[in-house]
Structure 1
């Protein structure tokens, strides 16, 4: 099977053969079938499902199998400058072949008289070589003109988008498309405070980390029996982004969350992991939550929005480390839907800790959102793509070591972004579970209220 002028596949030996150097690269059966499929559709995008079906027919394999196969093929094609194996995020792969001669190599052949035969379209037509050379020059000039016109047109489009503000939006849309999606929500049973409970472990599609054992999460908790002791089932959502692990716990779950103050915890993944006295944390929470530092009003939508419903979510999130100083993030979200999948969102957070009781970090962002819904392991995942049009940030003159961790995360992951992705993994009439941009992506179980405007 011919790929380019100097590269073929030996179908009998299942080798990739470089005719220039006579080098042979053996192909595994999966590599062989996947490469044949890509060659058959050269220049087109071939879906991951189609490549999986070609390489592993009738089998269910892990996503990493195709990734490893493509990585191996890239290494074996590395010396072929006219071939590029492109990854099209979320869709599949494409094999692009550069025709260095300006002709389709497989379409022309030379007969015994020294003339070229158009073997692809009409095998009976004989084309004099001189005519082909002239035709090739004309085609080359045409392609040059077309490229120049295309470049001018592209520059005009970019300039138009830039001056109209559309270029910024286009870049934002492309960056949002590249954001990872929720790959899995794995539900597992465990016992907490002698009561049967459920934990939902969330993974994004760019994560390869193994699933964290539930026991690993609870090993550093103690004195929690009195705080969490009730007859209701407990339910948790857990996420590990490689640097921070977050847990959102509803202490009273009976088909819906009846806990008006779910427990939201974040800890650093550095070892050794600090122990956490849940009874001490409950007392600290009670004391810190006597003061509402978040003075930012979310109800800022104009009166012209009469008849609309505003969804408001409120939560307290606590970060703890090996010190006795916890950081509290007082978080609020407000959403109004203009249509089924579009609307406006305002998010605000006020961060303080037990050492700096009167000093806090405040940040807020708002903008229009687009909503995408999907089903992951039987759960409805709502992804909000927010195009940020306003933001504010207040940094105190003094930062404790613990509060500096979230200050750095906000500076790096929130303030520089022109767009934002927020995910909701669960919602009932009184609560919702969100992945919010705090310590990276942080799991937050928030209390929900609805206000008629």
Structure 2
């Protein structure tokens, strides 16, 4: 009997391996037994193919493939014993290396109970180590994944309270969204920018609203005369304060002024060319939809005491290339009420991936945008009222490489977005589905 390991013996006469832990035998052919016996007699020595052919097939002439097949079969029979390594040395031959089992004392071969316990101990340690390594690798991959970053960013926001608002003489409530660590959440932080003596708008019986702060800006988005799950998409009101000093906004004048400002030409509509193809039935060419653009548009106003009213013409468009991925386009055009500021144009392009998340119990769609292109067109003239916006956009234009857009509400004709503009603001937008 030739001892291969403390647990395994080779009986060259009976031509089989004996596993002392289980008492099982592994049958070998004459050639397998002879080749393995010779290799074990000279451990770690590289044995040439000619020598092994003589051992396994004495007084016979066989092809070299016979040895190759013999070695392959031996490896399969030795698989349960990884400490016995049957190696192929390129262009030289074969070698057997028997390694010692770590972290255990070698028991007496005849003590089968001790052998079984030792093997179980080592096997358990290896398994536990493997599981821990797998968990570690999985954890590292998870913490570096886009999905984890989306969850981490979303978890910074809260939506667990409402605040009262008086819009045009109608009192309602707005769902408040705010990040961790912000304490100035009193309703006055939003309401104080509307002058109470001129807060009168005819025709508003009720409204739906969202309010948001990022700690620096206080914004609210209002849909007049809307019902739960439906907004008529008329006279949407988006107001953001950039200064803690009350703006004194005259709501009666504000509604008339917004009609005037929004009648101006829009600079930021995203247009993607159609695809012209030949239609045999019609006998000519026709324009067919090459893609579908999901377009959202809103106007956001920034009142500041004793300054011109500044308007941001905001546009967001998505073109899906998969169920939750595609191209993302965002553009902002900023002007003031007297057109003293030539348009400040800021455009973003990139690839998005959409995630379903919740802010407290509020379901939201999160669009993580990997920015590939940013264009900030320098205006010819900037009024003092708009200079703040130009400076803030320049700062973000330099540093933003990935952006998060949150769609916190949607119906058939509108949607409410948290937009990363100079920080974060909330805007109620009109929706249109455009086939291009």
Hey, what's the Cα distance between the residues in 1 that align with 2:407 and 2:309?
26
Alignment of 1:84-99 (within 5 A): none
Rg comparison, structure with higher value: 2
Hey, what's the Cα distance between the residues in 1 that align with 2:151 and 2:312?
29
For the Cα contact (< 8 Å) 1:249–1:445, is it kept in 2? yes
Q: Does 1:279 align with 2:252?
A: yes
Name the Cα RMSD after superposition: 3.1
- TM-score normalized by the length of structure 2: 0.58
Q: Which residue of 2 aligns with 1:288?
A: 261
Q: Which residue of 2 aligns with 1:383?
A: 366
Query: Among 177, 194, 197, which residue is 1:202 paired with?
Result: 177
Q: Does 1:392 align with 2:366?
A: no
Hey, what's the Cα distance between the residues in 1 that align with 2:204 and 2:380?
43
Q: Which residue of 2 aligns with 1:104?
A: none
Q: Which residue of 1 aligns with 2:5?
A: none
Q: Does 1:417 align with 2:400?
A: yes
C-alpha deviation, 1:358, in angstroms: 6.1
Q: Does 1:342 align with 2:315?
A: no
C-alpha deviation, 1:254, in angstroms: 0.8
C-alpha deviation, 1:355, in angstroms: 4.0
For the Cα contact (< 8 Å) 1:186–1:201, is it kept in 2? yes
For the Cα contact (< 8 Å) 2:165–2:191, is it kept in 1? no
Hey, what's the Cα distance between the residues in 2 that align with 1:343 and 1:225?
43
C-alpha deviation, 1:263, in angstroms: 0.8
Query: Among 330, 355, 367, which residue is 1:372 paired with?
Result: 355
Give the total of aligned pairs: 285
Q: Which residue of 2 aligns with 1:426?
A: 409
Q: Which residue of 2 aligns with 1:313?
A: 296
For the Cα contact (< 8 Å) 2:370–2:401, is it kept in 1? yes
Deviations 1:24-45 (A, max 9, x none): xxxxxxxxxxxxxxxxxxxxxx
Q: Which residue of 1 aligns with 2:33?
A: none
Query: Among 249, 266, 272, which residue is 2:240 paired with?
Result: 266
Hey, what's the Cα distance between the residues in 1 that align with 2:165 and 2:394?
38
Return closer, same or farther for 1:314/1:415 CA change in 2, 3 Å cut-off.
farther
Alignment of 1:137-148 (within 5 A): none
Alignment of 1:9-24 (within 5 A): none
Alignment of 1:429-440 (within 5 A): 429-440=412-423
Return closer, same or farther for 1:368/1:287 CA change in 2, 3 Å cut-off.
same
Alignment of 1:3-402 (within 5 A): 179=153, 181-188=155-162, 190=164, 192=166, 195=170, 197-204=172-179, 207-210=180-183, 212-221=185-194, 222-223=196-197, 226-227=200-201, 229-231=203-205, 233-255=206-228, 256-270=230-244, 272-294=245-267, 296-300=268-272, 303=275, 306=289, 308-357=291-340, 359-402=342-385
C-alpha deviation, 1:426, in angstroms: 0.8
Hey, what's the Cα distance between the residues in 1 that align with 2:335 and 2:172?
31
Deviations 1:113-141 (A, max 9, x none): xxxxxxxx77999xxxxxxxxxxxxxxxx
Hey, what's the Cα distance between the residues in 2 that align with 1:346 and 1:298?
8
C-alpha deviation, 1:219, in angstroms: 3.5
- TM-score normalized by the length of structure 1: 0.56
